[in-house]
Amino acid sequence: MNHNGVMNNLFAIGDIHGCFEKLKMLIGKMDINFKTDLLIFLGDYIDRGPCSYEVVDYLIELKKQQENIIFLKGNHEEMFENYLAGVDRFAYLSNGGRQTIDSYSRHGYKPGKDFIPKEHMEFFKNLDLFYETDHYIFVHAGLKEKKALADQSQDDLLWIRQKFIKSKHNFGKQIVFGHTPLASPLVQSNKIGIDTGAVYGNSLTCVKLPDLIFYHA
């Protein structure tokens, strides 16, 4: 933090989806100072990729070492919670959840009563829906036009896609989001999109703000 107690730089990382090696590589490339900078993860840590357990475990350990980290919730974490509660199980498994089940099973956690380690369960329960600073709003999927941040539905925050992507609306602050895979980062006056489809063979992306510098792995 600087003398005013304000973070110097903001770093945001897009959808990881179990791509553990890319995550480690990306963290290694970033010129982040954890004492003065803030790191925000935009959700979708799990599903589709091979190493969901490893990603979550790594993030939990990272947070123990570095305080200035914010974890946001993605739609895949919501689907996972529903799956664990016995709701929409097929929808989850058919949207990349099978790979998460396999990843946890490899570490000795079989579906059942205590399927998820307690520490991981706490991680999922404590995810935020958005994070706001003086100039930016960080969110997994996006916002609905003409609705105050406090009035946005969880469904929109986690799932909205084309209505937000195509929006030219001034939200008052630049929205930094993931969720919708793009060939390269999207930079518009009202939004910055950084899900570049890591799990589909493309890169995992981080943006450094306010400098607007991108890191890829």
Residue 5 above 60 pLDDT? Answer: no
The verdict on whether 179 is a catalytic residue reads no
Residue 93 lies in a domain: yes
Structural domain count, the chain: 1
User: 47-61, 85-99, 151-165: which range is least confident on average?
Assistant: 85-99
Three-class HEC string of the chain: CCCCCCCCCEEEECCCCCCHHHHHHHHHHCCCCCCCCEEEECCCCCCCCCCHHHHHHHHHHHHHHCCCEEEECCHHHHHHHHHHCCCCHHHHHHHHHHHHHHHHHHCCCCCCCCCCCHHHHHHHHCCECEEECCCEEEECCCCCCCCCHHHCCHHHHHHCCHHHHCCCCCCCCEEEECCCCCCCCEEECCEEECCCCHHHCCCCEEEEECCCEEEEC
The 10 Å Cβ neighbour count of residue 156 is 18
Residue 211 lies in a domain: yes
Annotated catalytic residue: which of 76, 120, 140, 179? Answer: 76
Residue 117 lies in a domain: yes
Q: What is the pTM of this model?
A: 0.95
Per-residue pLDDT, 56: 98
Residue 137 lies in a domain: yes
Q: Which CATH number covers residue 149? A: 3.60.21.10
Convert the pLDDT of each residue in 121-140 to its tens digit.
999 999 999 999 999 999 99
Per-residue pLDDT, 3: 42
Amino acid at the residue 13 = I
Residue 1 lies in a domain: no
Mean pLDDT, range 184-207, rounded to an integer: 98
Segments forming the whole domain that contains residue 176: 10-216
Residue 5 lies in a domain: no
Residue 3 lies in a domain: no
Residue 158 lies in a domain: yes
